[in-house]
Amino acid sequence: MCVAVLKKEGMALTESTIRNCWEANDDGAGFMYAEKGKLHIHKGYFSLDDFLEAYEPHKNKLAVLHFRIRTHGNIDTDNCHPFVVDNNLAFVHNGTITGVSMHDNTKSDTWHFNEQIIKELRKKYKSFFLDPIMQKLIKDSIGWSKLIFLNSKGQYSIVGESAGTWDSNCWFSNGSYKDRPKPVEVPKALPLNRTSNYQPNYSYKHDKELETGDICWVKYAISTLKPGDYVVVKYVYANNTVGCYERGRPRQEYRIPAWYLEPTSILSLKDEVQKELFKPGDFVKFTGNYNHFRKGDVATCDKIIGSKVNVFDENKQRGYLVDQELLAPVTLEEMWDADFSLPL
């Protein structure tokens, strides 16, 4: 997740705003500013008090701040932002970058992106970060991610600016800087995911009672999620944030505050597993890409193992263990469309 902030000169962030950023993204913080032709970078703060003490003397300067939530790599100073491109340029990132080789498990996706892409761009084209065409190329390659660059002259650029928010002469990459919104009244008949026939009893839980497997309704827009989207809880963290993913997209993970979510009911993946959605011998289709399978591909259900299904690929004559989330029942018409020979 993370939040990146560009603060214009003469505008001081309130302590409440900084605290909101920290409480939603507390795996390390940092900031940078340019002064007298030099770029100053301060990072590796793992307590809010330490960050506030270091930032206080510079609070009225043009500055770029970053508060991290770990998605890849260790929680340490090296993986805190800003990332140094060279002595005169650095940047911060909000999002997840997938188009790089993650050869070092201790380092984040942003670290790899800097080493493999940004530093090489800088060698070939010093002002790439100020060029609108290069900004568009970078944006197209990183999807919904956002970047803020700052050089030693105080020049900055934002990649993905339209996906963030300008508020009181500051730009924020997402809404985690805002005060926690008041709870909204959740309708008593939330639509369930279309793939589920489960009828809930609408026994709602509180934030701190979320469990792995819960299917939740997104109440507030955050990252690429919109109000009304459905996510599955994967992890519940001690600081009242949760790791989750969109149904049918288990590889696209988010870490967001628990109070952004409302359980649709007691419905969870465990309930669906108990309903035995699939039985050995069933034909199933993929609802998303997995391994060499593509969305819509058909395979045979071999056995049920917990929340996973062992599917058998007739073409490769081997089995694959797949999350039930990625599978759906197949109709007879779809079988014929798939040109898959049914046993007699």
pLDDT digits (tens, 9 = 90+) for 251-274: 567 888 888 887 765 444 444 433
User: CA 115, CA 306: separation in Å to the nearest integer?
Assistant: 40
Task: Identify the CA nearest to 223 among candidates 166, 171, 163, 179.
Answer: 163
Residue 136: exposed, middle, or buried by beta-carbon count in 10 A (0-12, 13-18, 19+)? exposed
Mean pLDDT lowest among 56-60, 67-71, 214-218: 214-218
Is residue 343 in a domain? no
Q: Are residues 71 and 144 in the same domain?
A: yes
Predicted model pTM: 0.57
> Average of pLDDT values for 166-187?
75
Q: Is 248 inside any structural domain? A: yes
User: 150 and 14, same structural domain?
Assistant: yes
Q: Distance between CA atoms of 219 and 197, rounded to whole angstroms?
A: 23
Dig out the tokens for 20 from the structure.
Answer: 């909101």
- pLDDT digits over 91-124, tens only? 999 988 887 888 899 999 999 999 999 999 999 9
Residue ending a domain, among 251, 271, 291, is 271
Q: Are residues 264 and 311 in the same domain?
A: no
**Count of the separate structural domains present in the chain:** 3
Residue 265, domain CATH: 2.30.30.40
Q: State pLDDT tens for residues 9-57.
A: 998 999 999 999 998 889 999 999 999 999 999 999 999 999 999 999 9
Q: CB–CB of 66/30 below 8 Å?
A: yes
Position 21 in a domain: yes
Same domain assignment for residues 86 and 129: yes
262 and 284 belong to one structural domain:
no
Are residues 126 and 33 part of one domain?
yes
Mark whether 169 and 20 lie in a shared domain: yes
Query: What residue numbers bound the domain in which 225 lies?
Result: 207-271
Q: Please say which residue of 271, 294, 311 terminates a domain.
A: 271
Residues 247 and 306 in one domain: no
The answer on 164 and 83 residing in a single domain is yes
CATH of the domain at 318: 2.30.30.30
Q: Which of 271, 306, 327 is the last residue of a domain?
A: 271
Mean pLDDT of 326-332: 68
Name the band, by pLDDT with cuts 50, 70 and 90, for residue 249. low
Do residues 120 and 211 share a domain?
no
